[in-house]
Amino acid sequence: MLVIVIMAVMASLIVMNVQGVDQRKVMQARELLILNLKKIRLESADQGRILGLLIQPATDIAPAQYEVVEYRPQANPDNSNQSQLNQSQSNLNQSTQSQFNQNQPMGARGQYRWQLANDFDSQTLPEQSSLQIQSLDHQLNLDVLKQNDALPQIIWLGNGEAVPVRIQLYLQQQQVGDAIVLNRLGAVSDEEDL
């Protein structure tokens, strides 16, 4: 009888522990995201690069992932690493493209594009997890960026400043951990630290 009780307790502990594995993976992905955000800020400020974080939502065949892109002169069209990003940029609707071009200097139009940053790896999120980005600057509308897969959702300027946002990770539509806050100066913090 005692053996049966011990086996039942162990089985229930194992079942409860297996359900927590996915949440721990998402928490690890959250910590890695925080480290990557800090690294992007430092790279942007130290090297004067304009960097962005391009988040790709999960699909039926691939989990959600994020990549670092850089706003730089257009590379050689034969570059195979850029073909996917350039293809998605060609799918821009005309009004967004013309508005994007109006914000660029006359000499730079058509010469600069968002391209994958070679010194950053693409990061994949665990299965059934997602990222939600909410703008903290109410004058800035990120909906235009969300409609266009080619433009990053978070942008760091060459001096380390960034678009202020709140980032929340979700596992099966439930929040995991505290929100990550990126302020105007590019500093990364947990929401509980505020």
The gap from C-alpha 56 to its chain's centroid, in whole angstroms, comes to: 8
- Residue 105 confidence (pLDDT) above 80: no
* pLDDT tens readout for residues 111-132: 778 889 999 999 999 998 999 9
Domain that holds residue 137: 24-193
Are the CB atoms for 181 and 191 separated by under 8 Å?
A: yes
**What tokens does 126 get?**
């665990």
Grouping H, G, I as helix, E, B as strand and the rest as coil, residue 153 is coil
Confidence of residue 102 (pLDDT cuts 50, 70, 90): very low
- Residue 92 confidence (pLDDT) above 50: no
Query: If residue 70 lies in a helix (H) or strand (E), which one and from where to where?
Result: strand 65-73
Mean pLDDT of the chain, nearest integer: 77
Q: What is the pLDDT, as a whole number, of residue 192?
A: 59
Q: Indicate the pTM of the whole model.
A: 0.69
How many folded domains does the chain comprise? 1
Q: Which residues of 11-29 are buried (b: 16+ CB within 10 A; e: fewer)?
A: eeeeeeeeeeebbebbbeb
Q: What is the pLDDT, as a whole number, of residue 67?
A: 93
Which CATH number fits the domain that encloses residue 124?
3.55.40.10
In a domain, 45, yes or no: yes
Q: Mean pLDDT lowest for which of 86-90, 92-96, 146-150, 153-157?
A: 92-96
In a domain, 137, yes or no: yes
Q: What is the pLDDT, as a whole number, of residue 179?
A: 92
Rounded to an integer, what distance in angstroms lies between the CA atom of residue 86 and that of residue 112?
12
Are the CB atoms for 182 and 188 separated by under 8 Å?
A: yes
Helices (H), 48-153: 83-90, 94-102, 143-147
Mean pLDDT value across residues 141-163: 72
In a domain, 143, yes or no: yes
Q: Mean pLDDT lowest for which of 3-7, 29-33, 34-38, 56-60?
A: 3-7
In a domain, 62, yes or no: yes
In a domain, 138, yes or no: yes
Grouping H, G, I as helix, E, B as strand and the rest as coil, residue 131 is strand
In a domain, 5, yes or no: no
More confident residue, 61 or 96: 61
Are the CB atoms for 30 and 177 separated by under 8 Å?
A: yes
Grouping H, G, I as helix, E, B as strand and the rest as coil, residue 120 is coil
